Amino acid sequence: MTTVNRVYNFSSGPAVLPVPVIEEIQRDLMALPSVGMSILEISHRSAAFEAILAQAEADVRAVAGVPANYKVLFLQGGASTQFSMVPMNLLTPGTTADYIDSGSWGDKAVKEAKKVGTVNVAASTKAENYSRVPLQSELKLTPGAAYVHMTSNNTIEGTEYKTLPEVGHAPLVNDTSSDMFSRPLDVAKHALIYSGAQKNLGPSGVTLVIIREDLLTRSQKSLPSMLNYAVQAENGSMYNTPPTFAVYTLGLVMKWLIGQGGLVTIATVNERKAAKLYAEIDRTGFYRGTAHKDCRSLMNVTFRLATEDLEKTFVKESTAAGLDGLKGHRSVGGMRASIYNAFPEHGIDALVAFMREFEAKRG
């Protein structure tokens, strides 16, 4: 396959996939080896798909070192459906859930949880435009909370937690949609981890959920079956037709990630990529990073220019130069470079070179 026509894709999601993954999809799209049918055409109950699902789960477990007492689920409805499923299953009557509000996605999670039960916003940096994540000392946690919900990487604002907050014995629920498998993570410190796949794990359409088994007892039988973690776990993510193509592709991405050396190696690469870009942002003051330096995201690098007109010109000219998707989220403006695992390092070099040229012309 030729990659000649591919631009540098800085999209926040759906986002860039590893080229070898796309090549394998292309090669096998007409007929999976020894199956003779496309992944798009086979039954989810076929032995071929069952093997694909089992391998994807095994590779997720291997990549993250998922302990045996956790279930790995492949669900649908995106991370946004988890905003509802988490409280529907875990926020039982008479209990309170703590939410750490560190960004626009966390805020949405709060809104959905409030429709289900009692929510305590344990801390919020909304008043500071979410330019940092809350400090440990700012958390007002509820004793005996049903769970504590956090967002490890704030995709829109470009901040991330460098270490997990301490939440005592409360089950920690983490929306890792935009930094899943970009760095080592300690699954055992969590009760539930969820992630829409379309940033770092694969295409849209599948949501990865890793849930500690003891939590499954909280799911009430009265819940809609599709929204019930216990039902999904009992049925091995096959209560209904799973998103077969998305699971297949997620599996290929896991295989690629293992080939890269796993989470420790990819984290080193991600640190190097982000450091190059932040160094350029900090070099002269022409560009201005919007996140506090101690919680700058390695996945979503946000920055601004002196005026909105200049920002518009930057977006236009960078797009023309083959650097696509640098416009920031509509709610915050400015620029955002999403540089997930699959984003190539030479694309960072290309952006840095463009930024220097742009500054030389307009600075």
Ligand X SMILES: *Cc1c(COP(=O)(O)O)cnc(C)c1O
Give the interface with ligand X as residue ranges (CB under 6 A): 13, 78-80, 105, 151, 155, 175, 177-178, 196, 199
Neighbours of 254 (CB within 10 A): 24
DSSP annotation of 140 reads -
Catalytic residue of the set 98, 101, 175, 179: 175
Report the residue number, 32 or 296, with the smaller CB distance to ligand X. 296
Query: In the annotation, is 115 catalytic?
Result: no
Pick 78 or 134: Cβ nearer ligand X = 78
Q: Is the peptide bond before 14 cis (omega within 30 degrees of 0)?
A: yes
Catalytic site residue from 199, 255, 273, 327: 199
Nearest approach, Cβ of residue 133 and ligand X (Å):
12
Q: 302 or 358, CB closer to ligand X? A: 302
Q: Are 178 and 102 in contact (CB under 8 A)?
A: no
Neighbouring-strand partners of residue 147: 97
> Is 326 in a helix, a strand, or coil?
coil
Q: Considering beta carbons, is residue 151 or 159 the nearer one to ligand X? A: 151
* DSSP calls for 262-286: HHHHHHHHHHHHHHHHHHHHHTTSS
- Whose CA is closest to 168, among 134, 193, 142? 142
Provide the minimum distance between the beta carbon of 111 and ligand X in the complex, in angstroms, as a whole number.
12
Q: What is the 3-state secondary structure (H, E, C) of 178-213?
A: CCCCCCCCCHHHCCEEEEECCCCCCCCCCEEEEEEH
Q: How far is the CB of 35 from ligand X (least distance, A)?
A: 29
| CA–CA separation, 274 and 340 (whole Å) | 10
Nearest distance from residue 123's CB to ligand X, in Å? 17
Nearer Cβ to ligand X (42/156): 156
User: Per residue in 274-308, is it b (16+ CB within 10 Å) or e — as a string?
Assistant: bebbbebbeeeebbebbbeeebbbbbbbbbbbeee
**Is 126 among the catalytic positions?**
no
Which residues lie across from 301 on neighbouring strands? 337
Residues 6 or more apart whose Cβ sits within 8 Å of residue 353: none
Distance CA 274, CA 153 (A): 14
CB of 54 to ligand X, least distance (A): 24
DSSP 327: B
Query: Which residue type occupies 108?
Result: K
- Nearest distance, CB of residue 177 and ligand X, angstroms: 3
Catalytic site includes residue 282: no
Q: Whole-number minimum distance, CB 309 to ligand X, in Å?
A: 29
23: left (phi over 0), alpha (psi -120 to 50) or beta: alpha
- Nearer to ligand X by Cβ, of 104 and 305: the residue is 104
- Pick the catalytic residue from 71, 98, 101, 105: 105
CB closer to ligand X, 196 vs 347: 196
| Nearest of 45, 14, 47, 29 to residue 237 by alpha carbon | 45
Q: How far apart, in whole angstroms, are the C-alpha atoms of residue 297 and residue 131?
A: 11
User: Which residues are the active-site residues?
Assistant: 105, 175, 199
